[in-house]
Amino acid sequence: MEFVANAGKNVEIEVSGNIYLRHAIQTRFVTGNDNYIDIMKEYVKDIYQEGDIISISEKIISICQNRTIKREDIRISRMARFLSKFASQASPQGYGVGVPIKMQYAINKMGLLRILYASIVGGFFKAFGVKGVFYKIAGPEISGLDGFYDGAWEEYRDIGIEIPYDSVAVCNEIRNKLGMSCMIVDANDLGQEILGKSDDIKLGDKFLKQMIRDNPAGQSQQRTPIILIRKKF
């Protein structure tokens, strides 16, 4: 097969002396009516080879699980607007609690006291050049919230997309039903996180993140939420 990369990305990447090929798989726009097993069958089954690793954007898994929140269901408080003024507009995971609605989500999800504590401690460390402390305290549900932003897709303007439920179980389900080794990632041009991987993958998360360190899935309207990774021999 011919490996294809998104514009501005490379097919090949070097990790610890090994060369890996990445193929960006374009899909249709995934909605809550889709099933991730069916998506993998439709777009990946015919090109997958044993030994490949499939990197799957957390967005399409979350959407298939209906892990979404409507803008209309979140009432933004004065406290959320106030705290968001002191937050960076982007976290290592993307647009964060500098957006008031995401700060309100954080308060609703984790409680006001925890978010106040995260804001105070995070602000203290940020004054000394240490970023990301807020999200470490607030937790992965907060750093992983996507959506409420239409920079790439208008459909995401009025919905928030939570991180998938039990990413490890999802990866193992895909492996057991389809025989594909896979990982679910929260990645953008600023950073990458491995949310889960199938049990047969023995490579560490640090190594896996290096395979996608340039965010080969892209950041805009590429519609390539699945990346097939194959070691070059």
pLDDT tens digits for range 106-159:
999 999 999 999 999 999 998 888 888 999 999 988 988 988 876 666 777 888
> pLDDT value at position 36?
96
As a whole number of angstroms, the distance between CA 149 and CA 168 comes to: 27
Residue pair 152/220 in contact by the 8 Å Cβ criterion: yes
Q: What are the two backbone dihedrals, phi and then psi, of residue 33, each rounded to the nearest 5 degrees? A: -85, -5
Mark the ranges of the chain whose per-residue pLDDT is less than 50.
91-94
Q: What is the pTM of this model?
A: 0.87
The secondary element (H helix, E strand) that includes residue 193 is: strand 192-197
- Tokens 């080794």 locate to 181
- Tokens 């298939």 locate to 64
| CA 166 from centroid of its chain's CA atoms | 14
String of DSSP letters for 28-72: PPP-TT--HHHHHHHHTTTT--TT-EEEEEHHHHHHHTT-EEEGG
> pLDDT value at position 220?
62
